[in-house]
Structure formats: structure tokens, C-alpha cells
Amino acid sequence: MVTTPAESALRDSPYHADCPTRHILDRIGDRWTVLIVGALWDRSNRFSELRRRIEGISQKMLTQTLRGLERDGLVRRTVYPEVPVRVEYALTEAGRTLRKPLRALEEWSIAHLGDVSAAQKAYDRAD
Amino acid sequence: MVTTPAESALRDSPYHADCPTRHILDRIGDRWTVLIVGALWDRSNRFSELRRRIEGISQKMLTQTLRGLERDGLVRRTVYPEVPVRVEYALTEAGRTLRKPLRALEEWSIAHLGDVSAAQKAYDRAD
DNA sequence: CGGTATCCGTTGTGATACTG
DNA sequence: CAGTATCACAACGGATACCG
């Protein structure tokens, strides 16, 4: 039997810091991670390629987010010692397993974000 | 046909700010939302009850997070004008639809967080 | 090319005091 | 009981300059 978010969310303490769902949100909940994972979905990318494809990301945040993903074993960094140096980033097998939960999030968004937006407008008009 | 995170993540601009997956992460990616949704999973709760059940949450963050969920139509707030006043919070039908994506996140966490933790240790030992 | 280092504004969160 | 108001502080992220 699989536990529900409801059950596990309240099973742990203190601060429920080890709620499993909170842990993955710490991992993918930031501004850039899902965009990088998305960009690496089909094939590996060079650093500069990622920078171009992900509009608005700074060099700092691209490096920082990639380092985090590499540290967690979700992305593999490969350096080809050519001149100039070439660095390729690719999802690992573990990284690919993110597909299912990310897909679930995306499907919810597509199905419900219109309602959420309407609810916000109604709420703001009311008060 | 359903789009993948990979495809949709890079379709939009600028900053890919309207990637659907990013939008739901803006909604549930904070520190307290999933814990509150979890606490409301089976039944409605009073304000003080939520405060007791969710260890470590401050009054400010509980209020603030509940207001956001109410504004988005995911939680319904009901005031019973007794003395002293009683306020009940419950998930709406829309709020209950979060079950599927939250469950997917939780299953990933349970299946993979051990590997992630091991990868972190290996990475930190290496460098 | 693929980074690091530094500075700095913004945002998220917590502590505390007060209120209808 | 269920909040609101205010202050303080740390983390996040962007801009810029520099480097192997």
C-alpha cells in the first residue's frame, strides 16, 4: 500500500522537514531546474547551448543549478579536452525518472490553471 | 496528444515564465503548501488545529498560505459566528485534484531519495 | 568556451506585539 | 480563537567583472 501525501505529510517531525514530497520540491521547486531538465530531455546539450535555449537564465544560475543536479546524480557533466574546451550535460538514468512526476505536474497545470486564474480574479474582485 | 515537460518548457518566452509546470511549482513549491493540503486531505480543520498539527509553522505563514490557497480556489474558508468564533478550512473539489500530481511527487521521492542522498555523499567526497 | 567571485536588491520566512 | 501589523534577517537570484 502506498501512502498518500496526506498521511506522510503529517507523519514526520520536527517541522515535517522530512516529508518526502517536500524533499523533491526542494530539489525541483526553484526557478530553473525543470526548464533545464526539459532542455536535456531528448539529448545532451553544451553549456552555451543551454544558455541560449533557456531564455533569461544567467550564467551564474545555469552553473549553480547544473552543479546541484550533478551532485544529486540527475545530470552527468562530461568535459571534452579540446581547444576550446567542450562540456556536455546530459540526464542520467535517475534524471530520466523525473519524467513521471513532472508530467503529472504539467497535466494538472494544463487542466486547472485556467480555473485557478478565474478564482483569483473572482477573489480579488470580491474583497 | 499530451505534451511533455521538455516540449512545453522551451516553447514559451520570455524567461519561459509561462511553462505550465513552473506555474504549479510557484503554487505548491513553497515551504508549507503541501503540508497544509496534506493536513486537509481527509477532513476540514480549524485554524488552531492546523497550527498544532503542522509542527513549526508560524501563525503568519499559516494565515498567508491559507489565504493564497483560498484565493486560488483550492481551499474554502468557512466562518461560524459562534462565541468564540470558529473558522473551518477545507479542500475544494479543485483542491482535491492536486492528489494525483502530489502522489506522483511522493512516489518519486520514496523511490529515489535514497539514491540522491548517496550521490550527494559520493560527490562531496570526490571533490 | 565555460566558468568563478563579488556585490546587491528582492523575496520568503520567522519572532514578537497587538486586536476584534 | 483567529487573526493583523511590524520588524528583522537569511536565502535566492541578477548584474557585473574577471579567469584558465
The residue to which cell 503529472 is assigned: A104
* Tally of structural domains, chain B: 1
Please state, for a pLDDT cut of 90, what percent of chain B lies above it: 82
CB of A109 under 7 A from strand D?
A: no
Amino acid A127: pLDDT: 75
B63: Cβ under 7 Å from strand D? yes
Instruction: Residue B45: list chain A partners with CB under 8 A.
Output: none
Q: What are phi and psi of B12, to 5 degrees?
A: -105, 160
pTM, rounded to two decimals? 0.90
β pairing state of A86-91 and B45-46: unpaired
| pLDDT at A18 (0 to 100) | 78
Contact A85, B42 (CB under 8 A): no
Helix (H, G, I), strand (E, B) or coil at B112: helix
Residue range(s) defining the domain that contains residue A72? 5-126
Q: Is the CB of A16 under 7 A from strand C?
A: no
| CATH (domain of B11) | 1.10.10.10
CA distance B115 to chain A (A): 8
Q: For B13-35, how does the pLDDT look when each residue is reduced to its tens digit (9 = 90+)?
A: 445 667 999 999 999 999 999 99
* Average confidence (pLDDT) per 10 residues, chain A, 127 residues: 52 64 96 97 97 96 98 98 95 97 97 96 90
Does A54 lie at the interface with B, CB-CB under 8 angstroms?
A: yes
Secondary structure class of B12 (helix, strand, coil): coil
